[in-house]
Chains A and B, each alone.
Chain A
């Protein structure tokens, strides 16, 4: 997997946007960037993924820099239920789809 680097923890006020950064400077041209989250030892939950264009779905937006060396996951209006560990993963294209989880960013949404 392309190595990803995330801050270990972040805080966000409820109702504000949470912007979670990820560096993936070694990513290759055909490797997607995936974001998952894990809420308190539940199963990891898929959030969003992208290749080079910005993506948006009902959960979040993903902004990928033009050089693809970093990305930002945006939760536009964070709620207390968004408190979780967020993982940025860039799996190799030809590696059978397995994901290797790092330590992620522990996001605490505070009232």
Chain B
């Protein structure tokens, strides 16, 4: 069964460092998303991406965040200068058109 894959599964970084989280969505999907979940809190929407551009972003997705689909298969989330409060699980998701979102297993980011 096709699945969304994310790398790395866990990344530890120092505050102020840049981090790139990678996702390979399901191959024929058209819509792509990033979510995050701080430990013990609910899953929060960050950004949606369609047709090579951001279609919507939340208040969390400030100038420190960016997304890219550089080669038609990968979908990346970059955090330019990490803060302690960026520590969270980051989930990538994709969908074909209408219908359900398929989520990856997440990347755990720990900022020290």
Interface residues of A (CB under 8 A from B): 34, 38, 41-46, 49, 95-104
Chain B residue contacts of A103, Cβ below 8 A: 42
Secondary structure at the A interface, as helix, strand, loop or mixed, is: loop
A45 near B101: Cβ-Cβ < 8 Å? no
Segment at the A interface, from B11-19, B72-80, B92-100: B92-100
* Contact A102 B106, CB 8 Å, known A96-B56, A97-B31: no
Chain B residue contacts of A100, Cβ below 8 A: 45
Interface residues of B (CB under 8 A from A): 4, 31, 33, 35, 37, 42-45, 48, 50, 55-56, 89, 91, 93, 95, 98-106
B91 near A97: Cβ-Cβ < 8 Å? no
* B30 to chain A: closest residue by CB: A97
Chain A residue contacts of B55, Cβ below 8 A: 96
Our pick among A38, A49, A101, A104 for the contact of B44 (Cβ within 8 Å) is A101
A38 near B43: Cβ-Cβ < 8 Å? yes
15 contacts between A and B (CB under 8 A): A38-B43, A43-B91, A43-B105, A45-B103, A46-B102, A49-B100, A96-B50, A97-B31, A97-B48, A97-B95, A97-B101, A98-B56, A100-B45, A101-B42, A102-B42
Secondary structure at the B interface, as helix, strand, loop or mixed, is: strand
Chain B nearest Cβ from A31, distance in angstroms: 12
Q: Which of A41, A43, A45, A101 has the most CB of B within 10 A?
A: A43
Chain B residue contacts of A95, Cβ below 8 A: 56
Chain B nearest Cβ from A39, distance in angstroms: 11
* B49 to chain A: closest residue by CB: A96
B48 near A98: Cβ-Cβ < 8 Å? yes
A45–B100 Cα distance when bound, in Å, is 9
B103 near A34: Cβ-Cβ < 8 Å? no
A38–B89 Cα distance when bound, in Å, is 13
Our pick among B4, B102, B106 for the contact of A42 (Cβ within 8 Å) is B106
B37 near A96: Cβ-Cβ < 8 Å? no
